Amino acid sequence: MPSFHFRQMNLQCGTFRLVLNRPLIMGVVNVTPDSFSDGGHYHNLDAAVAHARRLIDEGADLLDIGGESTRPGAAAVSLEEERRRVLPVLDALLSSGVPLSIDTQKPQLMREAAAAGAAMINDINGFEAADALQAVSGSDCAICIMHKQGQPQTMQQAPQYRDVVAEVDGYLRARVAAAEAAGITQSRIVVDPGFGFGKTLEHNLTLLRALDRVAAAGVPVLAGLSRKSMIGALTEREVGHRVFGSVAAALIAVQRGAAILRVHDVAATRDALAVWNAVESIKIKN
Ligand code: HH2
């Protein structure tokens, strides 16, 4: 197994400095009525905060709070509504001791979240909106740059690549360069191939198998495979029954260099990583 250079990396993440000498778990907190994985479960403040605290107890190293579903066909959410969903949850969790990421495509909300204490901004749109990079460059937030092809409403209709790994890797490298040009140092940047975002099952599997090529860009890689339709297609399970398949995919991702796993099932992922970490750190006598 190759030894990945993420082991020597640190990530500046707001006031936190994360040492990436083991894979980290990012727990998903969807404050939405319609997310594909858990829509409606944690839609109000109390339920979202209680869920977030449970994920921390289960071993989440950081949390990703989102107020707009990105599943194909999801309704667009206004800035006002997304702000109303997300910022109170962020505020309530500021003292929780873990870095808080905000999952948004809206530059104005990025700005407000950074000012309110977010440690990371996660943008499935790769910070392509006008002003998105500027919205975060003056802060100390980390950024997660994700690849997608097309727009969420239609992205799964006919995704096409000549070479999915080269194209995703090339896109992410170009966006890292754009972020650096906007004043964001590499020590604040994470990249994500965007599993399920404008990709067929074959594209997703090819990317997962070759994730180390994306990791070779030298920036930590975040992988979001949890409960996704690729896991459903492979296991023939409904979304609430994809934990085993998701954990298998998460382990494959860390073996191929993922530094951060974005997951719904924190406890299960934590146990799997405990086994993986023990095997990785055992000293072999010869
Ligand atoms: N996946 C989802 C949302 N945000 N961000 C990153 N960086 N990577 C991902 O793979 C990713 C993401 C979709 O999952 P979920 O939040 O559970 O669903 P929904 O978008 O329906 O809220």
For 90-99, write each residue's pLDDT tens digit: 999 999 999 9
Cα–ligand 1 centroid distance for 286 (angstroms):
44
**Alpha carbon of 175 to those of 127, 182, 194, 254, 262: distances in Å?**
8, 10, 14, 23, 20
How far apart (Å, rounded) are the C-alpha atoms in residues 50 and 20?
Answer: 27
CATH fold group of domain 10-285 = TIM Barrel (3.20.20)
Cα–ligand 1 centroid distance for 224 (angstroms):
7
**Each residue of 209-265: pLDDT tens digit?**
999 999 877 899 999 999 999 999 999 999 999 999 999 999 999 999 999 999 999
Cα–ligand 1 centroid distance for 32 (angstroms):
12
Lowest mean pLDDT among 68-77, 103-112, 130-139, 175-184: 68-77
The ligand 1 site (C-beta within 6 Å) comprises: 28, 30, 32, 35-37, 66, 69-71, 103, 122, 124, 144, 146, 192, 194-195, 222, 224, 262
What share of the chain has pLDDT > 90, as a percent?
A: 83
Predicted TM-score (pTM) of this structure: 0.95
Q: Which pLDDT score is estimated for 48?
A: 96
Q: With bands split at pLDDT 50, 70 and 90, how would you rate the model's confidence at 4?
A: low
Q: Which pLDDT score is estimated for 193?
A: 98
Comparison of pLDDT for 259 and 4, the residue scoring more? 259
Q: Which pLDDT score is estimated for 74?
A: 80
Q: Which pLDDT score is estimated for 3?
A: 47
Q: Which pLDDT score is estimated for 188?
A: 97
How far apart (Å, rounded) are the C-alpha atoms in residues 95 and 80?
Answer: 25
**Each residue of 124-144: pLDDT tens digit?**
999 999 999 999 999 999 999
Cα–ligand 1 centroid distance for 45 (angstroms):
20
- The number of the ligand 1 atom at minimal distance from the alpha carbon of 38 is 17
Lowest mean pLDDT among 124-133, 139-148, 154-163, 195-204: 154-163
Q: With bands split at pLDDT 50, 70 and 90, how would you rate the model's confidence at 1?
A: very low
- The number of the ligand 1 atom at minimal distance from the alpha carbon of 32 is 22
Residue 39, pLDDT > 80, answer no
Tokens of 6: 């993420």
Cα–ligand 1 centroid distance for 116 (angstroms):
22
Catalytic annotation, residues: 228, 262
Q: With bands split at pLDDT 50, 70 and 90, how would you rate the model's confidence at 195?
A: very high
Cα–ligand 1 centroid distance for 226 (angstroms):
9
Residue 271, pLDDT > 70, answer yes
Q: With bands split at pLDDT 50, 70 and 90, how would you rate the model's confidence at 204?
A: very high
How far apart (Å, rounded) are the C-alpha atoms in residues 139 and 158?
Answer: 38
What share of the chain has pLDDT > 70, as a percent?
A: 97
Q: Which pLDDT score is estimated for 155?
A: 72
Task: Tell me the best of 37, 242, 269 to mutate to test the pocket of ligand 1, counting ligand atoms within 8 Å of each CB and taking the most.
Answer: 37
Q: Which amino acid residue places its CA nearest to atom 9 of ligand 1?
A: 224
Q: What mean pLDDT is predicted for residues 192-214?
A: 96
Segments making up each domain of the chain, as ranges: 10-285
Q: Which pLDDT score is estimated for 141?
A: 98
Residue 60, pLDDT > 70, answer yes
Backbone angles phi, psi at 207, to 5 degrees: -65, -40
- The number of the ligand 1 atom at minimal distance from the alpha carbon of 34 is 21
Q: With bands split at pLDDT 50, 70 and 90, how would you rate the model's confidence at 43?
A: confident
Task: Tell me the best of 24, 26, 29, 35 to mutate to test the pocket of ligand 1, counting ligand atoms within 8 Å of each CB and taking the most.
Answer: 35
CA 51-122-11 angle, 5° bins: 95
- The number of the ligand 1 atom at minimal distance from the alpha carbon of 225 is 10
Helix/strand/coil (H/E/C) assignment for every residue in the chain:
CCCCHHHHCEEEECCEEEECCCCEEEEEEECCCCCCCCCCCCCCHHHHHHHHHHHHHHCCCEEEEECCCCCCCCCCCCHHHHHHHHHHHHHHHHHHCCCEEEECCCHHHHHHHHHCCCCEEEECCCCCCCCHHHHHHCCCCEEEEECCCCCCCCCCCCCCCCCHHHHHHHHHHHHHHHHHHCCCCHHHEEEECCCCCCCCHHHHHHHHHCHHHHHCCCCCEEECCCCCHHHHHHHCCCHHHCHHHHHHHHHHHHHCCEEEEEECCHHHHHHHHHHHHHHHHCCCCC
